[in-house]
DNA sequence: CCACACTACATCGTATACGATTTCATACAC
DNA sequence: GTGTATGAAATCGTATACGATGTAGTGTGG
């Protein structure tokens, strides 16, 4: 059995490629996505591209105007705020729901990831730090038994990853503080703390990142 | 200026029609949505129908299998539980965020709606009660300044409305209790209670509906 | 009588082609 | 010089047509 073909549909391929490019920052916000151009580039027709763009629209990565076209969603401070706030809420809930499902192995892995993050603080590599940070959080909310909430969390992360502002690059000192907050969250989870506390702490962790960003941008903190 | 055409695209028309039918329960879960059939019925080609179905898939109202087709999403107790749980979280957060924005007029309108609900308890009309209940809650979370969260709340309501089990019809006594909980929530909002309390109360209200349903179905309550 | 292969059908996935709408540049009137 | 009308170009929206994929029904060998 030669495992043969991926057999992905062209819509799927187009979607994955565009998603990849936007997340990687190769397509700057405001960039205009023209169906025919993308189709030619992908070596397919416009119909699959169109479908891919509608999916990206549903996820909020691109904005779409009828009879005009799609552009990569612009990131202003307000959009970033709303996305982070939403993610704080759903990720907090997901982490709380996942908490009882977490095995000792899960926690050990998360702890190992946080130690990697700590080691990463020296000779700071933003891309690697962001990657490890993603994996750390995913390890904690991943066992959440409610697939809808998980889906919302993933969408939130996708949107954030599409924003260059999301990385810790531009917020001095935030990375180090973040590692400490992870430590606190891990201790609470390991002691099997009550769900509401887990939710509050996970939410607060994200809100603090948001507020650190707002402070660095000279704006007032957001309440929640 | 003759106001002329709505100029809705066919995709949009198809989407709205299918959404309407599913929400109204005209299409039972498991019903198979065939592109060509729907296209003929709508008087258009299959392409717009296809796009509409993908949108419905993204919202969770239909399930889709490549090269096989789409069916109206089946509702089992687990799906209902997950949807209600998700809605409890996002609607609670939305209500808390909206609370500071609520004007006296907003609160008065919500109170009037709850009085209508109370009056509706006699000569009980499930459809009207559900309608009023929707409007009551929308009045409270509508002013939420975060459009992403509002979108998530609307999606949750859409999914619920597509489930016949969502109505209060099958849960004896729940309607009356619900009106009382609304009253409590209104008092908290009118006294400008703190956001965390608002969130907890709004969430608890929905979780109690869920647990009443689970109890009626003979299953253990869900924790959150 | 059961299991397997094969054929026919149903349905989706995509390409191509054309009409509809918007936008931008240009020219004209004031 | 400014504002408005007009034209062409670009782009989206949809229809039709065909190929790819999955499914069910039928027949044959064991």
A167 confidence band (pLDDT: 50, 70, 90)? low
Q: Is residue B94 packed enough to be buried (19+ CB in 10 Å), middle (13-18) or exposed (0-12)?
A: buried
With an 8 Å Cβ cutoff, are A97 and B55 in contact? no
Please answer whether residues B89 and B130 qualify as being in contact, where contact means their C-beta atoms are separated by less than 8 angstroms.
no
Asked whether the predicted pLDDT for residue A2 surpasses 50, the reply is: no
pLDDT, one tens digit per residue, over A171-202 is 888 999 999 999 999 999 999 999 999 999 99
Percent of chain B's residues with pLDDT above 70: 93
- Separation between Cα atoms, residue A188 and residue A90, nearest integer Å: 19
3 state DSSP class of B70? strand
Nearest CA in chain B to A51: B51
Asked whether the predicted pLDDT for residue B199 surpasses 70, the reply is: yes
3 state DSSP class of B69? strand
Q: Which of A207, A85, A92, A7 is nearest to B150 (CA)?
A: A85
* Bigger pLDDT: B204 vs A123: B204
Average pLDDT, rounded, for chain A = 90
Asked whether the predicted pLDDT for residue B4 surpasses 80, the reply is: no
* Bigger pLDDT: A2 vs A86: A86
With an 8 Å Cβ cutoff, are A149 and B66 in contact? no
CB atoms within 10 A of CB B50: 18
- Separation between Cα atoms, residue A181 and residue A174, nearest integer Å: 10
| Contacts B97 to A, Cβ<8 Å | 85, 224
pTM equals 0.90
Asked whether the predicted pLDDT for residue B224 surpasses 80, the reply is: no
pLDDT of residue A1: 38
* Bigger pLDDT: A90 vs A218: A90
Q: What is the mean pLDDT of residues B141-170?
A: 87
Cβ-nearest to B51 among A54, A89, A152:
A54
Separation between the CA of A2 and the C1’ of C1 (whole angstroms)? 36
Q: How far is CA A117 from the centre of its chain?
A: 17
Please answer whether residues A189 and A137 qualify as being in contact, where contact means their C-beta atoms are separated by less than 8 angstroms.
no
**Nucleotide in closest CA–C1' contact with B34:** C11
B1 confidence band (pLDDT: 50, 70, 90)? very low
3 state DSSP class of B147? helix
Asked whether the predicted pLDDT for residue A81 surpasses 90, the reply is: yes
pLDDT, one tens digit per residue, over B83-132 is 999 999 999 999 999 999 999 999 999 999 999 999 999 887 888 998 99
Asked whether the predicted pLDDT for residue A106 surpasses 70, the reply is: yes
B6 confidence band (pLDDT: 50, 70, 90)? very low
Percent of chain B's residues with pLDDT above 90: 67
Separation between the CA of A33 and the C1’ of D11 (whole angstroms)? 11
Average pLDDT, rounded, for chain B = 90
pLDDT of residue B37: 92
Please answer whether residues B81 and B214 qualify as being in contact, where contact means their C-beta atoms are separated by less than 8 angstroms.
yes
pLDDT of residue B51: 92
pLDDT of residue B168: 67
């Amino acid at each position: 059995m030669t495992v043969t073909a991926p057999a992905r549909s062209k819509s799927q391929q187009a979607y994955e490629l565009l998603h990849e490019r936007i997340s990687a920052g190769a397509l700057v916000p405001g960039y205009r996505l023209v169906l025919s151009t993308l189709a030619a580039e992908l070596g397919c027709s416009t119909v699959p591209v169109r479908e891919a763009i509608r999916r990206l629209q549903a996820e909020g990565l691109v904005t779409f105007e009828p009879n005009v076209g799609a552009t990569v969603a612009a990131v202003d401070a307000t959009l970033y705020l709303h996305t982070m706030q939403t993610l704080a809420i759903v990720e907090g809930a997901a982490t709380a729901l996942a908490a009882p499902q977490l095995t000792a192995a899960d926690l050990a892995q998360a702890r190992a990831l946080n130690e990697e993050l700590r080691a990463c603080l020296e000779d700071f590599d933003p891309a690697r730090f962001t990657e490890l940070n993603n994996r750390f959080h995913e390890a904690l909310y991943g066992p959440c038994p409610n697939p809808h909430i998980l889906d919302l969390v993933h969408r939130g992360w996708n949107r954030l990853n599409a924003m260059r502002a999301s990385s810790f690059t531009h917020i001095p000192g935030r990375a180090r503080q973040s590692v400490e907050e992870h430590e606190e969250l891990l201790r609470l989870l390991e002691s099997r703390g009550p769900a509401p506390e887990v939710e509050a702490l996970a939410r607060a962790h994200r809100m603090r990142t948001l507020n650190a960003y707002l402070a660095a941008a000279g704006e007032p903190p957001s309440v929640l």
